[in-house]
Each structure stands twice: as structure tokens, then as C-alpha cells.
Amino acid sequence: MAIDISKIRNIGIIAHIDAGKTTTTERILYYTGRKHKIGEVHEGEAEMDWMEQERERGITITSASTTCFWKDHQINIIDTPGHVDFTIEVERALRVLDGAIFILDASQGVEPQSETVWRQADKYRVPRITFINKMDKVGADYFRSLESMEKKLGALPLPMQYPIGAESEFEGVIDLVTMKEIVWLEETLGAKYEYRDVRPDLREEAEFWRSVLIERLAEVDEAILEKYLEEQPISEQELKEAIRRVTLSLKAVPVFAGSAYKNKGIQPLLDAVIDYLPSPLDRGAVVGKTPDGKEVVRQPVDTEPLTALAFKIQMDQYIGKLTYVRVYSGVLKAGTYVLNASQGKRERISRIVRMHAAKKEDVEELKAGDIGAVVGLKSVRTGDTITDVEHPLILESLEIPEPVISQAIFPRSKKDEEKLPAVLAKLAEEDPSFRFYVDEETGETIIAGMGELHLDIKVDIIRRTFKLDVDTGQPRVAYRETIKVPVQNVEGKFIRQTGGRGQYGHVIINVYPLERGKGYEFVDKIVGGRIPREYIPAVDKGIQEAMQKGVLAGFPVVDIKVELIDGSYHEVDSSELAFKRAAAMALRDALQRGKPVLLEPIMRLEITVPEEYMGDVIGDVGARRGQIKSIEDAGNAKLITALVPLAELMSYASDLRSITQGRAYFTMFFSHYAEVPQSVAEKIIAERKRELEEAKTKR
């Protein structure tokens, strides 16, 4: 069924963990006729949570994609995880989506991970609407949730509905645009609902909130401001058009209310997706660069050359590698050849499918604006651009977060040891925020990721899906090294004279510390051909390889700028290898002289705790080298925000339970790297040296 591109909506469902994303998606599938039975997350029956690990834990781990239809519109939905350890799943979904439904728990308002996903949506300029879910829950407060959006997100929420009742009294909503009540009929599982006149005792309150909606619109929309100042009536149509304008321009966010679990509020939300969120046409053209660096604009139409972004890789046990793609222009057809422009490799498109969670539906083509998956692409990785062979173009890729925690993994048998590298390579291809490497000093295989849960899930998949018998070591913190002072005119000279041709490389560099999080910068300042141009990349490469191992404890080096200022070469003996070695020698010398320091990951910790335990919790945070940033009211509890080194949080879940008799809960996510205090650094360095000595004696 060919759908006009203006009637396509590519949307994501984003929120804090446990706000009800998957439950909302399940209801959407039921009311759009995609499913004939409602699956519940807590019963392990949710269609979108298809992995064993998701069903057992009742959380979303991997983003699942599906397509449904509502009022002649095609809605492609990606349900994303809420847990911070799986932030890459949200990142890559938002990179390719046109709009999002942002869900809040009515009893909690904006929670820590809500802020994270909101910032990710801001980064990719994704227009969104908000659904305040769980209006039936104890403590539900629609208006407090609106307030938390203003205060914590800096958003301008537009109250589109007024809730009729709350908690166990929640009945339905008043639509503030049409000024009609919407009430759901319980016996139809919410499939049927009625529009009624607003009951007299709620009319005054509803009129007040409609005036708030219009006032807020007038703040950000000139057409409404003009009518508002002249006190002219504003029609439903004018209101809707203005709401759409300010939503697409990210000036305001329409807010709806309901209870997905109690089957209330979903249909108006679907109407809002169509009325207020963008089609691919609204999002407009994409800009990319040709392999030689020229900027090219591609319009979202089928007649332009093919441009698609691979945003997710999934290994399927039956059909192999699945590559999820978003088509921005042109048509992706089965049986044709395409170019992976990012890698410069041709690929054949053998089979294209539309995904419905883990189910696949074969299609012949994907058109501009579509999202689907391609089976069996060999060279394509997350973030690669797929284009027409004759018209290569590379789109902006994705930001991949750096791992903050690692642990050793040990296969129990020789057979499992042989299989492990291939399995880890598959997992890393699927999830770029998961890494693995062999520690050269200890010979151990190390896996690294975004948190303990992230690694726990990966190990579970290795054991159950791939049937490997493995043990793991204690989680370790991903420390880094850097320098504190600039070092200038550092020389590196590599000279080897053997019987035949020798080796000669000579470089002089300056090394400067950079701001935290800036990574690595290389500046070529060679003039007058002191080092031939063909050897400059080898110098850069040699420095980057040497940065893998710092001089204090062998941790990777970050946040430095290296200037190549001088050097010399030999007509016969110089080679790339010699310049790589010379650069590595120079860098190691510079690191020794630059007052090297250890850096550690600092986590932002948000703890919700009953007031009577607050003093104990604050004392415990202080004992963990933590800094309290703020203490706020959170309903009948307190919300403590603190910055704490990850190294001090390894057993925090069980410790917090025992301090507060299980009544407090917390979330944490990576904030930044910071210098380790000298006394702590000395212990870490000594421990690392002891590990390396032990590894040597075992060999």
C-alpha cells in the first residue's frame, strides 16, 4: 500500500525507566488494529519486549521498531529503553526519527533519565508531544508534572487536556481545543470512547486552563498573539494550526493525559501524532558531504538519488545480520546494488523487511521517509550512509558514548575460548557502546560498557543465546590518564642500522593539556618539507597508538593536543614504521614530563529518599567522596542530587537498601571525568602494578 510521504510519521517513544513506554506502545498497536490482544509488560507478554532478558526483567533493553496505521496515516514507531545503561539505543533512534512522544509518570513528573532523553531529543532537534501517563496512580498530579517540565526541562508545556479526576477517580479528559469531555467505555478495553459536553461543575476550571493554553501560545506565535491582544475569537482550526507551528519549531510542547494501563488517553494521543508531529516533508532536506568534501542537499522525495542511514545492526539467529535503515531520499529496492559511502564498498540488496518487533514482513522497496531493515549487508556498520552507486554522499553519523566500566571475561573451556572473540565481535557490531579488547599485559579478555546492568545483560546473552560457558571478574572502573602542564620541544628519534636498509624517523612535538572531554587533537606545523607529507599520517597514528597506554598505570590517555613542529628524515632509511616509532617515543617522554594524572568517571547520582533517612544518606554520599549538588522536595520524599566517583558506587544498590530499609531508590548516569585525588591515585597505581606483576608470573 503506497502512502503519501506527507502521511508518514516516524516517531520514537522516549522516557525515564518505568514511565510506561512499552505499555503505551502496546495500546497503540491494539487500537490501530496491529494486534488483537493487549500484551502486558509485567506478565512478560509485551510484543515490543521480545528478548528473553526483557521479558524476565520487565524492562526494555533494545529499541524495537513497528509500523501501524491510524486515520489513513502510516506511523513507524520505535520504542526505546529508559535505563541509562542503554542510552545508545535512544541516541540512534532520535538520530533518524522525525518526532517523539515523551512520556512522564504522573506521580513523578520529570525524573533524571527524562532529562537525559529530553537533552538527546534537543540535540537532534526532534519535535515532541508529551503524554502524562499513570493518571490512575496514587500521587498522580497532572499540574505538578506540567510545572516540572517548565522547571527542570526549560520547556513551554501547552496543556491540551484537563484531567477529569485523578488516582482511582480518574475518568477521562476534557479536550481544551474542542471543549468536549472524552470518556472511555471500560467494557471495550478502551477501544470505544465518547465525546460529551463538559459537565457544569468542571466548566469554569476547564475555561481557565483553555485560557492558559491560549496565553502560552500567544507567547510564541504571532498570529495568536495578534488575535489575543485584539480580543478576537480564535477558532479550533486556528488553534490547531498554531499548535502545530510551535511544536514543529520546538517553541512549545503539547501535553496530553491518560493511563495506558487502564486503556485511557491513547486515541487522542494518536490524533496528536498526526496533527502536531512532523512528516518527513516537514523535517525537510538532509545535508551530507561527498567523498571529496562538497556539501550536497537531498530532498525527501523518491526521484532524488538514494540516501539512507544505517542506524542499528541486529544479529538474527535465523537470517543473520539485519541492518535497520532510514531512507531520506530516493528508493531502496531489493535486487539492486548500492554503495556504502562511509566505507567505499558496494553491496547488493537481497532482501528488505518491515519490522514488527521480532517479526518480519517482506517488502520490495523502501521509499523516501520509510524505516525498514535490510538482510545480509556485509560492510555496513552503525552510522554508515547507504547511497546510489553513482551519487555517493555521507550523512552525519551518530555520537557513540565512551564506556565507563569494564570487567574480565573467562571462557571455561578451550572450545568456548575459540568461539568467544567472534561472539564479542557480533555484540560490539550490534551495540557500539559495548567494547572488548585483550589486555596485553595480563592476557585477559576485557569487556567494557555503560554500567553494571549493561555488562550483566551482555554476559547473559553470551551464556544463553550463544551457549558459551563463561565466568566474569569484578567490574572495574575505566580510568584515564592525562597531563596537567604543557611540554614543548620533545624529541623522538628512532634509528636502527642493520646489515641492509636501516630505519630512520625523527620528530619534535609540543603537547598541551585540553579541557575535559575534548579527546585528542593533532596539528601539523611542519614547514619547508622537514618531514615529507607522506609520513605525517604515520606520526599521527604513532601518537594515537601510544595514547592507548599511559605512563602512570597503563590506562588510555585523553584530552591532549599534539603539535608536530619539526623533525628530519633520511632519503633511503626513512619509513612510515620509523616515524610511527619516533612519534610514540616522543609522546611517552612528553607524558612523563607533563605532570601526568589519573582521571576517573564521575556519576550524577539522584536519590529519592524518605526524609527520616536523609541525614544517613547524605553522610554515606560524603564517605564515598561525593559532592551534594542539590536537595529538593519530591512529593513526600526528598530528591538528593550528588556527583560521586563511579569507583565508590560498586555496591551502592544494596548499601542504600540497608541504610533506608529498602525505602529509597536511585538512578545514576555518567557526568564527566575528573582528576583522582593523589592519595587515592597512589593506591590505584599500586594495585594496577600488582595485577600486572601477577599476570607476568602466571605466564
Is residue 46 pLDDT above 50, yes or no? no
Q: Bigger pLDDT: 136 or 693?
A: 136
C-alpha pair distances (Å), 51 with each of 48, 358, 373, 456, 461 = 9, 9, 18, 14, 10
**Mean of all residue pLDDT scores within the chain:** 86
Cα dihedral 395, 396, 401, 406 sign: positive
Q: Give the per-residue pLDDT at 2.
A: 65
Is residue 195 pLDDT above 80, yes or no? yes
Q: Give the per-residue pLDDT at 357.
A: 57
Burial (CB < 10 A; 0-12, 13-18, 19+), residue 28, is buried
What distance in Å separates the CA atoms of residue 489 and residue 566, rounded to the nearest whole number? 9
C-alpha pair distances (Å), 386 with each of 9, 308, 381 = 22, 5, 10
Strands (E), 169-248: 172-175, 180-184, 193-197
Full DSSP string of 670-683? EEEEEEPPHHHHHH
pLDDT in tens, 557-583: 999 999 999 999 988 888 999 999 999
Residue 136, number of CB atoms within 10 A of its CB: 21
What distance in Å separates the CA atoms of residue 242 and residue 223, rounded to the nearest whole number? 8
pLDDT in tens, 394-443: 988 777 777 778 888 999 999 998 999 999 988 888 888 888 988 776 67
Cα dihedral 158, 78, 21, 456 sign: negative
Burial (CB < 10 A; 0-12, 13-18, 19+), residue 425, is exposed
**38 pLDDT band (50/70/90 cuts)?**
low
Angle between helix 236-248 and helix 266-276 axes, rounded to 10 deg: 70
Eight-class DSSP state of 5 = G
Q: What is the mean pLDDT of residues 281-308?
A: 90
Q: What is the 3-state secondary structure (H, E, C) of 597-611?
A: EEEEEEEEEEEEEEH
Q: Bigger pLDDT: 52 or 552?
A: 552
Residue 60, number of CB atoms within 10 A of its CB: 25
Q: What is the mean pLDDT of residues 317-336?
A: 86
Q: Bigger pLDDT: 598 or 360?
A: 598
Q: 277 is written with which cell numbers?
A: 508531529
Is 320:344 a contact under the CB 8 Å cutoff?
A: no
Is residue 506 pLDDT above 50, yes or no? yes
pLDDT in tens, 638-691: 889 999 998 898 878 788 888 988 778 787 778 889 999 999 999 998 988 887
Residue 472, number of CB atoms within 10 A of its CB: 15
Is residue 39 pLDDT above 70, yes or no? no
pLDDT in tens, 114-163: 877 888 888 889 999 999 999 999 989 999 999 999 988 889 999 999 99
Q: 630 is written with which cell numbers?
A: 542539590
What distance in Å separates the CA atoms of residue 351 and residue 364, rounded to the nearest whole number? 8
- Residue partners of 608: CB distance under 8 A and separation at least 6: 634, 637, 638, 639, 640, 664, 665, 666
Q: What is the 3-state secondary structure (H, E, C) of 573-584?
A: CECHHHHHHHHH
Q: Give the per-residue pLDDT at 41.
A: 44
C-alpha pair distances (Å), 381 with each of 160, 344, 364, 498 = 41, 12, 23, 43
Q: Bigger pLDDT: 312 or 588?
A: 588
| 240: Cα separation from own chain's centroid | 32
Q: Give the per-residue pLDDT at 428.
A: 87
Is residue 344 pLDDT above 80, yes or no? yes
**What's this model's pTM, rounded to 2 decimal places?**
0.70
Q: Which long-range contacts (CB under 8 A, 24 or more apart) does 182-191 make?
A: 182/268, 184/263, 184/264, 184/265, 186/263, 189/30, 189/38, 189/263, 190/27, 190/31, 190/262, 190/263, 190/264, 190/266, 191/30, 191/31, 191/263
pLDDT in tens, 70-103: 999 999 887 665 455 566 667 777 788 899 999 9
- Closest by CA position to 170, among listed 241, 257, 108: 257
pLDDT in tens, 438-497: 877 667 888 988 777 788 888 888 888 888 999 988 888 889 999 999 999 999 999 987
Q: Give the per-residue pLDDT at 24.
A: 86
Q: Give the per-residue pLDDT at 85.
A: 54
What distance in Å separates the CA atoms of residue 346 and residue 403, rounded to the nearest whole number? 32
- Residue partners of 325: CB distance under 8 A and separation at least 6: 308, 309, 310, 311, 332, 366, 371, 372, 373, 374, 386
- Residue partners of 686: CB distance under 8 A and separation at least 6: none
Q: Give the per-residue pLDDT at 198.
A: 93
Q: Which residue has the cell 573451556?
A: 413
Q: Give the per-residue pLDDT at 649.
A: 87
C-alpha pair distances (Å), 270 with each of 9, 27, 267, 353, 674 = 11, 11, 5, 25, 45
Residue 311, number of CB atoms within 10 A of its CB: 25
Percent of the chain with pLDDT over 70: 91
Q: What is the mean pLDDT of residues 275-302?
A: 90
Q: Bigger pLDDT: 494 or 112?
A: 494
